């Protein structure tokens, strides 16, 4: 028997959230997905509120992962402690609210989900995600294990994929909001993609109005970033996992246009 796990890219703004709400249930049904991990760090563009977290769970997310914007909406802090289904990066300082990994039930099987953040080109000094995984791996033995590696650089994400090849079910990247074309199974059986992409406005720069981004890169003063108008795209990857080996048989892109 196989398990089918859907991983969905960063939800951007109210329109991204609305796209998720309207489409995720049907998408899970048509893909026969058993479990769904959604990165929710941009529902408020910077961060998310507890209400937005609840909406994602209601829409069909089984676990919400985050990233560099995890703590930007301050009313999320107690929610991170109270809600079991939301994770912030595991390699943030241990005194920060919430948790970075947990195990969940997936149709009778145990699934571990881990959220990590990268260190290349990020304004953070988190713990080393690679050595943190060394200490975590024994604790997830016997589980299907999925890693959301929220990182900027493609090399850092690829290195994590190869380090964990054969040891976890899948490693998927988030944060860049741009889907990559390298969804595949690595040589020792771990599913991999460098970046899922996003769930947000299709005609935009990472979900933001293009003219604001152009203005910023031209050196102008920028107004507060706003989500772009228009239809959304939902970028995801479906991983098919062998229930015996817990390794990946297939990693397929699912790019849905609203």
Nearest approach in angstroms of CB 181 to Fe ion is: 19
Q: What is the DSSP string of 210-222?
A: HHHHHHHHTT---
Compute how many other C-beta atoms are within 10 angstroms of the C-beta atom of residue 113: 27
- Counting other chains too, the contacts that 28-33 makes at CB distance below 8 Å and 24 or more residues apart are 28/60, 31/4, 31/6, 31/238, 31/254, 32/4, 33/4, 33/5, 33/6, 33/238
Residues that bind Fe ion (rule: CB under 5 A) add up to a total of 6
| Span interacting with Fe ion, options 9-17, 73-81, 106-114, 182-190, rule CB under 5 A | 9-17
Contact status, residue 197 vs residue 181, Cβ threshold 8 Å: no
With beta carbons less than 8 A apart as the criterion, state whether 9 and 39 touch. yes
- Give CA–CA dist 77/62, Å, rounded: 20
Number of other residues whose CB lies within 10 A of the CB of residue 210? 13
Question: Per rule CB under 5 A, is residue 175 in the interface with Fe ion?
Answer: yes
Q: Which C-beta is closer to Fe ion: that of 88 or that of 175? A: 175
Site string for Fe ion, 62-91 (x = CB under 5 A): -----xx-----------------------
> In this chain, which stretch among 10-18, 93-101, 153-161, 242-250 interacts with Fe ion, using CB under 5 A?
10-18
Assess 42 for contact with Fe ion (CB under 5 A). yes
| Least Å from the CB of residue 240 to Fe ion | 26
Nearer to Fe ion, 37 or 241 (CB): 37
The smaller minimum CB distance to Fe ion, of residues 68 and 73, is found at: 68
End-to-end distance of the chain based on CA atoms, in angstroms? 32
Stretch that binds Fe ion, among 57-65, 74-82, 172-180, 214-222 (CB under 5 A): 172-180
Least distance from C-beta 150 to Fe ion, angstroms? 6
The CB-of-70 to Fe ion minimum distance in angstroms stands at: 9
Is residue 126 close enough to count as binding Fe ion by CB under 5 A?
no
Q: Which is nearer to Fe ion, 41 or 62 (CB)?
A: 41
Tokens 């970075």 identify what position?
Answer: 100
Task: Pull the structure tokens for residue 190.
Answer: 């771990």
Does 69 participate in catalysis according to the annotation? Answer: yes
Binding site for Fe ion (CB under 5 A): 10, 41-42, 67-68, 175
Instruction: Give catalytic residue positions.
Output: 69
């Amino acid at each position: 028997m196989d398990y089918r796990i859907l991983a969905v890219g960063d939800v951007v703004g109210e329109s991204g959230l609305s796209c998720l709400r309207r489409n995720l249930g049907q998408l899970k049904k048509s893909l026969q997905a058993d479990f769904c991990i959604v990165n929710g760090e941009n529902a408020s563009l910077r961060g998310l509120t507890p209400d937005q977290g609840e909406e994602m769970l209601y829409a069909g997310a089984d676990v919400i992962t985050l990233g560099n914007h995890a703590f930007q909406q301050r009313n999320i802090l107690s929610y991170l402690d109270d809600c079991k289904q939301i994770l912030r990066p595991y390699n943030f300082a241990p005194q920060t609210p919430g948790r970075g990994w947990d195990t969940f039930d997936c149709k009778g099987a145990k699934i571990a989900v881990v959220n990590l953040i990268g260190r290349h080109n990020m304004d953070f000094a988190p713990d080393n995600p690679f050595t943190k995984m060394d200490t975590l791996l024994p604790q997830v033995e016997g589980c299907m294990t999925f890693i959301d590696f929220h990182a900027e650089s493609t090399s850092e994400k690829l290195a994590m994929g190869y380090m964990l090849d054969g040891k976890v079910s899948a490693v998927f990247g988030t944060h860049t909001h741009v889907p990559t074309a390298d969804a595949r199974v690595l040589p020792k059986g771990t599913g991999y993609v460098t970046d899922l992409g996003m769930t947000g406005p299709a005609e935009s720069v990472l979900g933001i109005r293009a003219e604001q981004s152009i203005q910023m890169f031209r050196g102008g003063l920028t107004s507060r970033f706003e989500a772009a108008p228009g239809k959304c795209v939902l970028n995801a990857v479906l991983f098919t996992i062998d229930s015996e080996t817990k390794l990946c048989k297939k990693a397929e892109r699912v790019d849905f246009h609203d």
